[in-house]
Structure 1
């Protein structure tokens, strides 16, 4: 196996591994092969390594592992951002340097489209990184507290032990940023910032910009490979593969873009699903937990002043009725797909 095939195999394995780590913990994948592999790497393998460490190193390895994992997963750092920037910058440089047989035929509009396509990910990343996600402070607490009402299903008035004020509905305290964020979605390691009410539109732009760069790369290089492939070969796939191996530098960028676009597109589809459902990434976990309690027949429903409220069985008033399905529960934050989407761009 020559270097190109090893390189291709490495890229494919890394892409699949990243996809499993990122999406394997979602409840929809928990009972699938992806979920099982995710638990293999994140639960079973660390447990086995810990046992080996206790036996042979008396736990010293676990100490260093906890320090490293605490830095990677529970502290703000720019390692993933640097990885992203290095990856796209190296690919762009290789395209411009090794693709001169392709770019020599470009016209002004071609170069303009490439310049825009290349610039957007850098601009959107910078904007998303340094934008305010909606940090709740003592100065803006009053305004944040009336932005969304409590639904008394997944959000109740509750004092944040760190910030020492009542957390506004749909907000959450981010332990990495050490602050409460309005309409908290998640802390994104790709932008080294929280995604919340004020900057989720920039996060969408970041995903769109990255995806369009990958698709632009696939289209430009794919068209070139289609022109140079040997159409005399019997198999269409073989002729494509031959073109990729003959144009190794451009072929590598084409394959990296192809694999990466699947991951970015999956991210984007999931975010659109959340918009359709009318909740955030953080809220989706709360709704999933609520659904499990409903399946266990532990949630009762009652109305006060026309407002639907949920309680546990032990706290249910006499007029409460058993909730049989999550479909019976009203999501007051879901105003329909179009209005949900508008609220992202005009919070």
Structure 2
């Protein structure tokens, strides 16, 4: 049973790391180990690494690390692209070698072998489209059309010349220091794609993220059904229920399965759970009996989801001219302005 516990611990550790990395800066985690782990993952670990390198190898070692960082993060390079393909290929290979021998199974048909290959193929296709498509490069030849498509609001964006390209920067554009080009409706430079994400390829990037999210869900469910099918085919539940002399059901079998792991831990957990319920009931009764007591401090969860007082304040800023509503904004991602007929008509007029 040691392997199962290793997998459970690995899953919990992965969950903690992911939550800490993505959400550790949220107010709800302020002053908690999650915030500390977030700081360590995003800054502390690299800082400690640099200190260790400097202590062992001196300034030459530190400068070498900085040069590698500059080459990998501040210049176009395919390192993360190769890493992505390696991760996708390695994971899919491990699934093929470990799970495909059980397909078709009790819950999965043979078609899932082909749909899984198709799903991974579509993900790689979206990756290629995002990586090698034009993000919406602004040039002296098309800058006037982008200026017409994205007017200035004179709040966030106003007339300003790009110091590198030497022409007026259209609103919502930015000069990418890594790619050394101005990009219309610039979002960010993605190292995984080795490309900027801008007006023309945001649709591919969003499709890539959505598809991989669905791919993870599909893979999780499929592997779960493979495991469930093996339990069914080997009649594990039936054998255990006969062994323990109980009803043929997962619910009645659960306490005995836990006992298989460690009965004393299960009993201790049940005792602590009952004590916690009793304490909560006593605390609730005492609070109800002390109406004159001051209101308890608001929990972090309630504070996080509470309506912001700024939402009730008087609106003093002008309307955001770039916020055209949810559906129009999504449609602008799917069909960028530079691909529409109006953009080409403006181009013809300017020429």
Does TM, normalized by the shorter one, top 0.5? Answer: yes
1:1-347 alignment to 2 at 5 Å?
13=13, 16-17=16-17, 20-21=20-21, 31=30, 33=32, 34-47=34-47, 57-105=57-105, 107=109, 109-229=111-231, 230-231=236-237, 232=240, 234-235=253-254, 328-347=317-336
Give the drift of 1:338: 1.0
Q: Could you tell me how far apart the structure 2 residues matched to 1:38 and 1:71 are?
A: 25
For normalisation by structure 2, the TM-score amounts to 0.64
Bigger fraction of residues in strand:
1
Question: What is the CA-CA distance between 1:327 and the residue it aligns to?
Answer: 6.8
What is the aligned residue count? 265
Which blocks of at least 5 consecutive residues in structure 2 are unaligned? Answer: 241-249, 262-309, 337-351
Deviations 1:287-329 (A, max 9, x none): xxxxxxxx9xxxxxxxxxxxxxxxxxxxxxxxxxxxx777744
Cα 1:3–1:177, aligned 2, differ >3 Å: closer, same or farther?
A: farther
> How far apart are the structure 2 equivalents of 1:110 and 1:51?
50
In 2: Cα distance, 1:75 partner to 1:5 partner: 43
Aligned CA distance change for structure 1 residues 94 and 57 (closer, same or farther; 3 Å): closer
> 1:181/1:30 Cα in 2 relative to 1: closer, same or farther (>3 Å)?
farther
Q: Which moved more, 1:71-80 or 1:170-179?
A: 71-80
Deviations 1:97-136 (A, max 9, x none): 2223422446564444333222211111111111111011
Q: 1:200 to 1:30 in 2, by over 3 A?
A: farther
Q: Is 2:80–2:191's contact at 8 Å kept on the other side of the alignment?
A: yes
CA deviation profile, 1:142-177 (whole Å, cap 9, x unmatched): 111111111122112111111111111000111111
Q: CA, structure 1 residues 30+9, in 2 after alignment: closer, same or farther (shift >3 Å)?
A: closer
The TM-score, its normalising length taken from structure 1, stands at 0.64
Identify unmatched segments of 5+ residues in structure 1: 243-294, 296-323
- Is the 1:135–1:179 Cα contact (8 Å) retained in structure 2? yes
Structure whose alpha-carbon radius of gyration is higher:
2
| Contact 2:84–2:192, Cα closer than 8 Å, also in 1 | yes
1:336/1:157 CA distance change after superposition, 3 Å:
same
Aligned to 1:314: none
Task: Please give the alpha-carbon distance, in whole angstroms, between the structure 2 residues aligned to 1:206 and 1:50.
Answer: 34
Distance 1:173 1:156 in 2: 15
Change (3 A) 1:22 1:179: farther
Q: Offset of 1:21 from its aligned partner? A: 4.4
Change (3 A) 1:56 1:124: closer
Q: Which moved more, 1:87-96 or 1:109-118?
A: 109-118
